[in-house]
Amino acid sequence: MPFPLLTSIIFLPLLGGLLILFTPKDRTGTIKAIATAATGLALILAAALVLKFECGNTGMQFAERLPWIPQMNINYHLGVDGISIGLVFLTALLGFFACIGSYGIKERQKEYYFLYLLLNTGMLGTFLALDLFLFYVFWEIVLVPMYFLIGIWGGPRKEYAAIKFFIYTLAGSVFMLLSILALYFTSNPHTFNMLELAKSGGTLAKGFQLILFVGFYLAFAIKVPVFPFHTWLPDAHVEAPTPISVLLAGVLLKMGGYGFFRISFPILKDAAIYFALPFAILGAINIVYGAFVAMAQTDFKKMVAYSSVSHMGFVMLGLASMTVTGFNGALMQMFNHGVITGGMFLLVGVLYDRAHTRDLNKFGGLGANMPVYAGLLTVFTLASLGLPGLSGFISEFMSLMGGFTAFRLITIISVLGIIITAGYFLYMIQRVLLGPLNKTWSDITDINRREIFTLAPLMILMIGIGVYPLLILNFQSPAVINLIQHIGGTLF
């Protein structure tokens, strides 16, 4: 049997978490070391996975399959392909750097790192599971640690935000469970295998597909989040501690988008084609509405949270286009948004740790006192608003290009979102970094080395992909073309 690489990536964090459970709680140094080692090893293995990945191969690689519940034909089935590899790497990357970013947490560290590592296992498992039952288990496992992480270490309204997050996402996912069951019982022989269902799902009656699609949609759309299911996001983001915000924006939202790529679209392709127009409309609403709401925010974190809503709209638009370009754009946008917004949340956290406020109107002129911070914030902001040469531009452009071939008017409206985005981001820069220095912050210190260390790799990726997008397209494009051929979309 070959080395179970994927299993190791998923369960290394959990193993670390179990070790932490048996560590005395006052030995915080050991606890941090275990957590860092566990996420670090997972990152190293994920990097090895990327290096060993065969880009031209459209099938599942590193597949592992063991019977789990044979009576129901449920298997422990893992695999990685061009669609998931980027997200797996992103999760491992953010998992490691957000872990280092967690060193600032001083309360109840043992519980924190245990839950944090459990969360990592859940997220990695979600992206690697190829059995719908296993996928659902990982998907739900994510909820519980997230509830505690927001609820215990969060801001003033943490309890409300935590339970809202829990109930919202659970409400969506139980309908997904019903759709999963319906898929299982309509397949012959009964199976939860996503790959086999992708082959047989197209034969289902269209009306039935539509119902199942809606079931999955509720789960995925709430996670993305798609308007009007987005209201949990600003609450959760604002209240969550910085590293958790990073994972929320960087990884959790991607679980929804990934679900469309891996489950809804390949298995229920007739329904996907049927719902393309609503997808595009919702995408445009997300982009424009999210941007407008972001502009109105005075809370730095809330602004970034709404910018996520706006950016995830491009994923929806790219998906709706049913073109290779659009799909590539959507998938890449998920990766890029994870990197950029993850970085943005880290930067918000840096400022909040020093100023203990996130009110944009209370800052001003910080650029003079924090030059390195100012530089980093500006670069990340420019990436987020889609400046050419940085990664955000490439994926948004590709999504729009794909969208334009399918839905001209909607795409034209969506482009407006970019202008508004530029508006609120530049307005933010102006209020935080420029202008006369607010006297309250005259002795604020610049960003420290540890914080730069967490941001640097994200910036390298951001610039690297922006200059040379094939870095990521090489990995995902063959799988995307394969998927489009399978659905019957446009090979553009």
Query: Is 76 near other proteins (CB under 8 A)?
Result: no
Q: Which residues of 33-65 are buried (b: 16+ CB within 10 A; e: fewer)?
A: ebbbebbbbbbebbeebbeebeeeebebbbebe
* Segment contacting other proteins by CB under 8 A, of 54-62, 65-73, 330-338, 357-365: 65-73
* Segment contacting other proteins by CB under 8 A, of 46-54, 131-139, 376-384, 409-417: 131-139
User: Mind giving me the DSSP string for 257-317?
Assistant: HHHIIIIIHHHSHHHHHHTHHHHHHHHHHHHHHHHHHHHT--BHHHHHHHHHHHHHHHHHH
Q: Which is nearer to other proteins, 164 or 269 (CB)?
A: 164
Residue 245: count of CB within 10 angstroms of its CB? 29
Query: Is 160 near other proteins (CB under 8 A)?
Result: no
φ, ψ of residue 219 in degrees (nearest 5): -65, -50
Range 345-374, binding other proteins (CB under 8 A): none
Q: Which is nearer to other proteins, 141 or 282 (CB)?
A: 141
Give CA–CA dist 262/268, Å, rounded: 10
Which of 143, 251, 340, 382 lies at the binding interface for other proteins (CB under 8 A)?
143
Beta-bridged to residue 64, according to DSSP, are 78
Q: What is the CA radius of gyration of the chain?
A: 21
Burial (Cβ within 10 Å: 0-12, 13-18, ≥19) of residue 436:
exposed
Which of 19, 98, 99, 141 lies at the binding interface for other proteins (CB under 8 A)?
141
* Segment contacting other proteins by CB under 8 A, of 147-155, 223-231, 339-347, 438-446: 147-155
Give CA–CA dist 445/448, Å, rounded: 8
Query: Is 136 near other proteins (CB under 8 A)?
Result: yes
Least Å distance, CB 413 to other proteins, is 35
Q: 278, 280, 343: which is closest to 315 by C-alpha?
A: 280
In the numeric block, which tokens belong to residue 458?
């994200």
x-or-dash string of contact with other proteins, 166-205, rule CB under 8 A: xx--xx--xx-xx--xx-xx--------------------
Query: Is 71 near other proteins (CB under 8 A)?
Result: yes
Least Å distance, CB 107 to other proteins, is 11
Residues that bind other proteins (CB under 8 A): 67-72, 111, 133, 136-137, 140-141, 143-144, 147-148, 151-152, 158-159, 162-163, 166-167, 170-171, 174-175, 177-178, 181-182, 184-185
